[in-house]
Amino acid sequence: MLDAQAERPAKPCIQSVEVAQCRIREMTEEIVGELQRIVRAHRQLDAGAHGLELRPVLPCGPHDAAICFVGRDPGEKEAKCGRPFIGESGQRLRDCLLEFYAPSIIPSEQSRLEIGERFFWVNTVPFKPKRNKPWSQPVRVACQPMLLQLMQSHWGGRDVVTFGNEAFFWFGIGQPRATRKKFRAFWNQGDIKYERSIEVPLPGLERTVRLHPMPHPSLANARWRVRFPELFKQRLFELSDPIVATQRRS
């Protein structure tokens, strides 16, 4: 009798989870429609890369991921496949992740995808721009609140690694003047910023994250092309849990 009574409260709990998941799906579809509206007729949109449905490359990854990676926008491969960070630069990132977290595994398309499933991924605009030129600031401003909503509902972590200046300053959009000034001062430190971090509130949300900026991983980034892998792995080391960090010290 006691056991039967103890089981009853579980049903509303399951129902509430299902309702919450349904609301998140509905919210996501609404956001997709609004994101499409923003870019559909924009001169910068590479519509051919996304296909007729114009599906965005949305933020994705496990809710309990320890790290969120933020890049500028998807490339052609990402747009066609609907997966973030799988182009040339993304593969370079994933190779670094493999070398750091699973050094015994040989890099391959499958292993790169599998290692990526441990993390949360975001682009500042979820559509590919023509000729891979940065999206205009008005487009980034228009898309940011909705992408932050998805980030808020789909990811519960705190540590965010940004790649390149556009990804870093994306978190300055919608911030008060004092915060933007703080952002600029942090960025203007020089290369030492890639070894430091800054805490910032997410605009419009009661939540704070810790940003860890990195250079853009592209091979075209001549200044950081050689140094990037070791610099990135140093960031990963700093963000590792104590057990992993201890293992890597030995």
Cβ neighbours of residue 187 closer than 8 Å, sequence gap 6 or more: 165, 168, 169, 193, 213
Can you give the residue range of the structural domain that contains 46? 2-249
Closest residue by Cα to residue 209 from 120, 84, 93: 120
For the cut 80, the answer to whether the pLDDT of residue 249 exceeds it is no
For the cut 90, the answer to whether the pLDDT of residue 133 exceeds it is yes
pLDDT for 27? 81
Residue 35 vs residues 28, 57, 91, 121, 195: alpha-carbon distances, Å: 10, 11, 26, 17, 34
Closest residue by Cα to residue 136 from 42, 202, 23, 35: 42
Residue 20: pLDDT band with limits 50, 70, 90:
low
| Residue type, position 28, single letter | T
* Least trusted range by pLDDT, from 12-16, 109-113, 126-130, 215-219: 12-16
* Least trusted range by pLDDT, from 66-75, 158-167, 185-194, 236-245: 236-245
- pLDDT, tens digit (0-9, with 9 covering 90-100), for 199-247: 999 988 989 999 999 999 999 999 999 999 999 999 999 998 654 444 4
Cα 104 from Cα 232, distance rounded (Å)? 19
pTM of the model: 0.88
For the cut 50, the answer to whether the pLDDT of residue 88 exceeds it is yes
Report how many domains make up the chain. Answer: 1
Mean pLDDT along residues 96-123: 97
Q: What is the CATH number of the domain that holds 99?
A: 3.40.470.10
Mean pLDDT along residues 31-39: 97
For the cut 50, the answer to whether the pLDDT of residue 109 exceeds it is yes
- pLDDT, tens digit (0-9, with 9 covering 90-100), for 156-181: 999 999 999 999 999 999 999 999 99
